[in-house]
Amino acid sequence: MSVSVTFVGSGDSFGSGGRFNTCILVDAPDIRFCIDFGASSLIALERLGIPHNSIDAILLTHLHGDHCGGIPFLLVDAMLAAKRDRPLTIAGPRETSERLKTVAAAMMPGMDVMVPKFPITYLDLPVYRTCDVGPVGVTTFPAIHTQATNPTSMRVEVANKVIAYTGDSEWTEHMPALADGADLFIAECYFFRKQVRFHLNYPDIVTHKHEIRAKRTVLTHLGREMLANIDSVPEQCAYDGLVIPL
């Protein structure tokens, strides 16, 4: 089995262009995992006919709702309707395990009394250190985004393939190392002309293009202005349902 990447959701926080929140599904030998799991991710998975019970792990870059807000819905459905029986690992930046309890309490009050019949493992990932999540090696780097979300960029290695993802972040000094030699470099690209704090925008992609030494680059997290100009950029842009074999 080869590695493939499916953009379950490629949109921004606000549903621009009718796109779903960030959710990037990776299929590899012995594991299926998501990088980020925004609030609309269950709907997006259902649209693609992908059962959420088949997901072994969720890796989070940061703790904004459009990147982690779908997890309470997944857990409640897994316990009540989908009858999940396989283990689930949820890994993310520091404070992930505690902060997700707060997210769940706000979005699904009362779910704290529910006892899952499947093992759940929460991992807080340190930056600069490679951690194993099953057969996946995960390395995170500091990102420049809303500080309260504990933002990171993420590089994952599975089945001899490397997927690098900026998460939501301004350009950082770490991004060349993040992307170096990656089979797929996924870069957020929020605006086309406008420079917005805490995000990569198309002028950043152009300025730093020579520093990115990845085999393939795909732009995602596209806002309204970027979507309106998508036909004028040479880089490949993600869309909901795009599948990339590696």
* pLDDT, tens only, 164-184: 999 999 999 999 999 999 999
Is 218 a residue whose pLDDT tops 70? yes
Task: Walk across the sheet containing 130-133 and list its strands.
Answer: 130-133, 136-142, 152-158, 161-165, 184-188, 217-220, 236-237
CA trace torsion 128, 134, 136, 139 (10° rounding): -10
What's the whole-model pTM score? 0.97
Confidence of residue 1 (pLDDT cuts 50, 70, 90): low
CA atoms within 13 A of residue 75's CA, in its CB half-sphere: 31
Architecture of domain 4-245: 4-Layer Sandwich (3.60)
Q: What is the pLDDT of residues 185-207, one digit of tens each?
A: 999 999 999 899 999 999 999 99
**pLDDT for 23:** 98
Packing angle, helices 71-80 and 41-48, rounded to 10: 60
SS3 assignment, position 54: helix
Tens-place pLDDT, residues 93-134: 999 999 999 999 999 999 989 889 999 999 999 999 999 999
pLDDT for position 126: 96
What whole-number percentage of the chain has pLDDT above 90? Answer: 97
The closest alpha carbon to 92, from 106, 81, 103, 77, belongs to 103
Residue 112: the pLDDT is: 87
